[in-house]
Structure 1
């Protein structure tokens, strides 16, 4: 079996949530210790890792980032290497991401180039967000790369394909939690209560008017309320209700405007339903914005020097905290085709493992080109 496929299957069985990736970190360290050590320096950070591969005559540092956490999903693939952790699954392909990163790192541990390389194994991409604190860490400040690359699997594209674009690739995203507290009571006496189920339902409808009436029709934004909880039993009017959702916009300015309107509407609910409301935006991710010149050079190189098909895609409303790194360090992220019939965050996601070697060859080839430039 291809050793990288074995690694992927091993990691697939031990998915862990953000900042709980203890088994994952230990697995990565065990593998890294099997590689030649003379040009490698490893530093732990929380449940993540920084791995520096020293070059022969470094003029710059090239970074490569992978995320390492899983999702709170019960796997339904029935694969022989299914998750062994209840209600945990690598349903976003981070097992692929790690395997690819290890493949590239292995190549450069054995094939030295001029420039230094920094491999970043980042925890908590799915939440609460590991990129921003990792970026601010002493380790990153000491070894901060001059450019940085990353990828994300894409079930909708065939193996042998990558997709990307200059500029905005992924949206600005924010979690949204709204807690309402009114006055509960007997179902037979609604006039003596302040019903938070009714208040919550009204608020959900009002939130959708932000998209239809407050966002420029030529811009794009999304407010999704994915979960509502409220009340205790069927014959008691609910004293409390909670809305949980997400906000996604194509610009930081639109995110500010959407949040301002949410806050205005929630104040209206407080007044109209005589209740108290608390808003929590949870994890917020900055947009993924690909550096134009690096991305253009990358596309040109891949088209000329490899047999991989490059597609120029549109921006997506997906979120990725790699955006924080790209805000400070020029670089890019691209989609890697893995042709799965089930999409990201699906309990039956099963990417084609042939994509692992495709990605390793593309990334190693491009980094070799960049890392040996005078």
Structure 2
């Protein structure tokens, strides 16, 4: 079995949630410590780490980031290397991301490069968000790269395909939690209560008018309520209800507009149903915006070298906290085809492992190309 495939399968068995990636960090560190140490420096940061590869005559630092956390999903793949952690799964491909990063790191430990490289093993991408605090860390500020790259698996593309575009790639995202509190009571006496199930249902319907009536039709936004909880038993009118969802927009300005409208509708619910409503936006991720020059250079390189099939994709409403790093450091993210019949965040996601070597070959070749320039 290919070493990187074994690493991927080992990591797939031990997914951990954001800032709880202790086994994952330990596994990564154990592997990295088996490599020659003469040209590398390792610094742990919370449950993630930074690994610097020292170049022979550096003029710049090239960054490469991978995320390392899993999702709160019970795996249903039936694979012999399925997750051993209940309700935790690498359902977004971070096990492949890490394996690829280790493959690229291994190559440059064994093969000298002129420029310095910084490998960023970032926790908590799925939440509550590790990129922004990691970016602000003393280590990152001291080792801050001049450019930075990352990839994300794409189940819908075949292995051997890389999809990318300049400019906006992923949307601005925000979590949305709304708690409603009214007056509960006996199911036979609704007139003596303020029913929060009714209030919550009304609010859900009103929220769906924001995109259709408050967002420019030529713009894009999504408000999804993915979870509703309320009440205790069938014959008690609910005193409390909770909505959990997400907001996605193609611009920061639209995100502000959507939130302002949500807050206006909530005030109406408070008045109309004589209740109290609290809003929590949870984790918010900045858009992933690919640097035009670096992205075009990457696309040109792929096409000239014919390493993979490079295709231009559209922007997506997915969220990625790598956007915070791209906000401060020029770089790009791209989609890596893994040809899975099940999509991201699905309990049966099963990426084609052949994509690991494809990505390692692409990134080692490209980084060597830009890291050995005169």
**Shorter-chain TM-score range:** over 0.9
SS of corresponding position for 2:282: coil
The answer on 1:264 being equivalent to 2:257 is: no
Distance 1:276 1:250 in 2: 31
1:269-323 Cα deviation digits (max 9, x unpaired) = 0000000000000000000000000000000001111330001000000000000
Tell me the equivalent position of 2:232: 232
1:219-246 Cα deviation digits (max 9, x unpaired) = 0000000000000001110000000000
Tell me the equivalent position of 2:192: 192
Shift of 1:373: 1.1
SS of corresponding position for 2:244: strand
Tell me the equivalent position of 1:153: 153
SS of corresponding position for 1:277: strand
Distance 1:164 1:175 in 2: 26
SS of corresponding position for 1:207: helix
Tell me the equivalent position of 1:366: 366
Tell me the equivalent position of 2:277: 277
Distance 1:267 1:67 in 2: 38
Alignment of 1:1-374 (within 5 A): 1-374=1-374
Distance 1:304 1:105 in 2: 24
Kept in 2, the 8 Å contact 1:289–1:332? The answer is yes
TM-score (norm 2): 1.00
SS of corresponding position for 2:241: strand
SS of corresponding position for 1:178: strand
Q: Which runs of 5+ in 1 are unaligned?
A: none
Distance 1:234 1:362 in 2: 58
Distance 2:257 2:112 in 1: 49
1:12-39 Cα deviation digits (max 9, x unpaired) = 0000000000000000000000001000
TM-score (norm 1): 1.00
What stretches of structure 1 move > 6 A for 4+ residues in a row? none
Shift of 1:130: 0.2
Kept in 1, the 8 Å contact 2:307–2:362? The answer is no
SS of corresponding position for 2:255: helix
SS of corresponding position for 1:319: coil
* RMSD (Å) for aligned C-alpha atoms: 0.4
Q: Which runs of 5+ in 2 are unaligned?
A: none
1:87-122 Cα deviation digits (max 9, x unpaired) = 110000000000000000000001011100000000
Distance 1:94 1:253 in 2: 30
Distance 1:307 1:38 in 2: 31
Distance 1:128 1:159 in 2: 31
Kept in 2, the 8 Å contact 1:306–1:362? The answer is no
1:320-359 Cα deviation digits (max 9, x unpaired) = 0000000000000000000000000000000000000000
Aligned length: 374
Kept in 1, the 8 Å contact 2:17–2:71? The answer is yes
Distance 1:161 1:209 in 2: 38
SS of corresponding position for 2:219: coil
SS of corresponding position for 2:256: helix
Distance 1:130 1:245 in 2: 20
Distance 1:155 1:302 in 2: 20
